[in-house]
């Protein structure tokens, strides 16, 4: 029955390959492979499955992002028993930043698995990798449970790919980060002072930041420098830099 064997080959081959490749990256065999396939499907390559919802990785990303947040919260809680919640919050936001997740995704080699339709966007957004990482964690959580996902994040991500000393000491300079991005992407941007703090009684600066004439951040502070950092931080969050 050559046609039957051919069918089997066609049907199982790519599935088997994904299965084995994932085994190498993850350190375990996936159970429900369809969850992992979904995790790597960017919305540009997704089909509408019902009005208002596509079979893209965005729902898994929502879930995985939260799971990572909890695992990291637990990790920091135990690692720093004498630090207050302000410190823990700040550390976590650095560990789960968009940039960090993009880096982790590339280090794991997830970018090779992503299914995207390049025709639908000009330059591929870099957040596509980080999104796939978050979605992958969502898939692991659903497939294997919280404890398993936790162990994966601790042993295969934090212990291997995150330099905790660097996270602890490094202050994020959002303005530089933003400008670097804008120059690389050849975007026009403007830090504008809407209210000059030196001319008003309560001494508050109001600043806004525009990218290609669209406002991406506004902030108000007695220090102009601080206000610049604040709007740059807003922009980084909004633009997923």
Instruction: Verify whether residue 61 is a known catalytic residue.
Output: no
Q: Quickly count: other Cβ atoms within 10 Å of residue 140's Cβ.
A: 27
Which of 202, 207, 213, 212 is CA-nearest to residue 234? 207
Rounded to a whole number of angstroms, the minimum distance from the CB of residue 28 to a copy of itself is: 19
Q: Which is nearer to a copy of itself, 11 or 146 (CB)?
A: 146
- Contacts with a copy of itself by CB under 8 A lie at 49-50, 52-54, 58-59, 61-63, 66-67, 69-70, 73-74, 77, 82-85, 88-89, 138, 141-142, 145-147, 150, 194-195, 202, 204, 206, 208, 213, 215, 218-220
Name the minimum Å distance from CB 90 to a copy of itself.
11
Closer residue to a copy of itself, CB minimum distance, 67 or 116: 67
Shortest distance (Å) from residue 207 CB to a copy of itself:
10
Question: Is 55 designated active site?
Answer: no
Distance CA 60, CA 21 (A): 20
| Cβ distance to a copy of itself smaller for residue 74 or 173 | 74
Angle at 227 between CA 222 and CA 230, to 5 degrees: 140
What percentage of the chain's residues is helix, strand, coil (to nearest 5)? Answer: 65, 10, 25
C-beta of 142 vs 182, nearer to a copy of itself:
142
Residue 14: how many other CB atoms lie within 10 Å: 10
- For tokens 């975007």, the residue is 187
CB of 56 to a copy of itself, least distance (A): 9
Which one is catalytic: 58, 61, 134, 143?
A: 134
Contacts of 224 by beta carbon, 8 Å cutoff, 6+ apart: 193, 197, 205, 207
Catalytic site residue from 65, 131, 228, 233: 65
Q: Show which residues are catalytic.
A: 65, 134
């Amino acid at each position: 029955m050559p046609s039957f064997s051919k069918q089997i080959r066609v049907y199982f081959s790519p599935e088997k390959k994904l299965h084995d490749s994932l085994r190498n990256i993850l350190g375990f065999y996936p159970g429900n492979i369809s969850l992992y396939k979904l995790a790597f499907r960017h919305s540009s390559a997704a089909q509408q499955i019902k009005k208002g919802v596509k079979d893209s990785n965005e729902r898994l990303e929502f879930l995985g992002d939260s799971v990572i947040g909890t695992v990291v919260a637990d990790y920091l809680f135990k690692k720093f028993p004498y630090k207050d919640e302000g410190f823990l919050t700040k550390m976590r936001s650095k560990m789960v930043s968009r940039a960090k997740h993009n880096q982790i995704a590339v280090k794991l080699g997830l970018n090779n698995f992503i299914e995207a339709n390049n025709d639908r966007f000009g330059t591929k957004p870099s957040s596509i990798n980080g999104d796939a990482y978050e979605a992958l964690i969502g898939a692991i959580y659903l497939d294997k449970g919280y404890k398993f996902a936790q162990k994966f994040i601790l042993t295969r991500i934090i212990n291997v790919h995150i330099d905790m000393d660097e996270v602890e000491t490094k202050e994020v300079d959002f303005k530089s980060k933003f400008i670097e991005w804008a120059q690389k992407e050849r975007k026009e941007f403007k830090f504008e002072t809407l209210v000059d703090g030196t001319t008003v009684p309560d001494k508050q600066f109001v600043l806004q930041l525009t990218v290609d004439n669209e406002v991406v951040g506004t902030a108000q502070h007695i220090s102009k420098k601080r206000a610049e950092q604040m709007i740059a931080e807003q922009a980084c969050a909004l633009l997923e830099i």
